[in-house]
Structure 1
Amino acid sequence: MFYEGLHGGYADGTIDVSRQVDLLVGVVPIINLEWIQKLHRDQIQRGYSQEAVMDTILRRMPDYVHHITPQFSRTHVNFQRVPTVDTSNPFIAKDIPSLDESMVVIRFANPKGIDFPYLVSMLHDSWMSRPNTLVVPGGKMGLAMQMIFTPMILRLMDLKRRAG
């Protein structure tokens, strides 16, 4: 099963969705980029005023802090997009930074079995910032996902096949 959306790593009390998942992936922009994306989407596509979008952001902040961000500590792999352009005030940003104006920080919860030297050699201009963290140019995020997840999914399928 493949699931894409919010709350794939939700846990609260007796509910822990993350325990049901074989491979949990987080894709998250830094918060100012997230707000820029929300402001643009809600104003341009939905016709909301900037004030209405700001009110929504503020109203949802407790859920963001208590339920959304903790999920990323339960993922197997996180992809966090970090712009390399000024996003210090998301409320005045005229456009959303492109992938080419970003770097992607990829954090592995358990780096065992990840061939980091191979990834760094194949993903031009990438580097290791920590023993479990790879940084790649934003434009290479799709390729990085393919190179990282193909062997992981093949291993999962092999385990399933062996389990019968």
Structure 2
Amino acid sequence: MSSKHPIIAVTGSSGAGTTTVKHTFEAIFHRENVNAAIVEGDSFHRYTRDEMRQLIDEAEARGERGISHFGPEANLLEELEALFRGYGESAVGRKRFYIHNEEQAMRWNLPMGTFTKWEDLPVGTDCLFYEGLHGGFVTDTIDVARHVDLLIGVAPTINLEWIQKLHRDTRVRGYSMEAVQDTILRRMHDYVHCIVPQFSRTHINFQRVPVVDTSNPFIARDVPSLAESMVVIRFRDPRGIDFPYLINMISDAFMSRANSIVIPGGKLDLAMQLILTPLIWKLMEKRRKLV
């Protein structure tokens, strides 16, 4: 952790909605004139899409479970920790981009499922912002979480998470329903052991809970909207959180525990703005005193 060069990370599973939270942070950064170095977690995948597919096929041919992007074998997590460490010490590091879709492929003139070249982070940034799968990852040898000053978890209920992933991967990324189902099953071991434990290390968790039937996510025609959801917001340390203010500002919000507030899904962006903006102010104020 570094007051002079703070790091903010949003972590969550594939399809959890971390990109939505990223957009909220970007809006806050723009409004508050914060110059953030943006790093996408997918850029720390170890393999291209074709390489990953080959490794999975070879493992399954041997009767083994293939690796997944949730687990350490398929990611450059030592390099991710090194990036966080280096940025916290002197605001330096390298990033690249993973090519997800045709639009990005045309922009970078690279095949889908590959990476751009590594490049240095821009000079003179105020903070580093990471959004991906492993912002709170910890093992006996790797501790990404210890470098993060503000760690946000995005963890919708599992069926909603699957619905969001299914709709994104089939409609936006062109995968078949069967391929997405296979991916969900193959990732389950790593989901339990690598993704879920991170939510015990986060400073704040946002968990969206649908209030419509999602009992069979594989036949859902649409993703439940925010208006069809409630959101549970859990604070690891509730000291300093002005719950009466939040409840007053967010209509129909209520406290479910001493460290948790529940809000209508349609108020999620407002709640994130009210909660996250003061936290960014504090990080930037600490930084200004040291620079």
TM-score by length of structure 1 reads: 0.95
> How much does 1:28 deviate?
2.0
Counterpart secondary structure, 1:91: helix
Question: Using the alignment, how far apart are the partners of 2:204 and 2:288 within structure 1?
Answer: 23
Choose from 79, 88, 98 the match for 2:225. Answer: 98
- Structure 2 residue aligned with 1:52: 179
Question: Using the alignment, how far apart are the partners of 1:40 and 1:17 within structure 2?
Answer: 30
1:86 and 2:213 matched: yes
Question: Using the alignment, how far apart are the partners of 1:141 and 1:46 within structure 2?
Answer: 26
Question: Using the alignment, how far apart are the partners of 1:3 and 1:110 within structure 2?
Answer: 22
Question: Using the alignment, how far apart are the partners of 1:153 and 1:146 within structure 2?
Answer: 10
1:126 and 2:279 matched: no
Alignment of 1:134-145 (within 5 A): 134-145=261-272
1:63 and 2:172 matched: no
- Structure 2 residue aligned with 1:110: 237
TM-score by length of structure 2 reads: 0.55
Higher radius of gyration, 1 or 2: 2
CA distances 1:8-56 after superposition (whole Å, capped 9, x unpaired): 1011112111110110001121110011111112222233332221111
1:76 and 2:176 matched: no
Question: Using the alignment, how far apart are the partners of 2:150 and 2:198 within structure 1?
Answer: 13
Identity of aligned residues (%): 70
CA distances 1:93-130 after superposition (whole Å, capped 9, x unpaired): 11100011111100000001000000000000000000
> How much does 1:3 deviate?
1.3
Amino acid in the other structure paired with 2:164: Q
> How much does 1:159 deviate?
2.0
Question: Using the alignment, how far apart are the partners of 2:274 and 2:173 within structure 1?
Answer: 36
Task: Between 45-54 and 68-77, report the one with greater CA deviation.
Answer: 45-54
- Structure 1 residue aligned with 2:153: 26
Amino acid in the other structure paired with 2:205: N
Question: Using the alignment, how far apart are the partners of 1:46 and 1:155 within structure 2?
Answer: 38
Question: Using the alignment, how far apart are the partners of 1:162 and 1:40 within structure 2?
Answer: 46
- Structure 2 residue aligned with 1:151: 278
Alignment RMSD, CA only? 1.1
Amino acid in the other structure paired with 1:144: A
CA distances 1:54-93 after superposition (whole Å, capped 9, x unpaired): 1110000011000011111110000011101000110111
- Structure 1 residue aligned with 2:135: 8
Question: Using the alignment, how far apart are the partners of 2:167 and 2:285 within structure 1?
Answer: 43
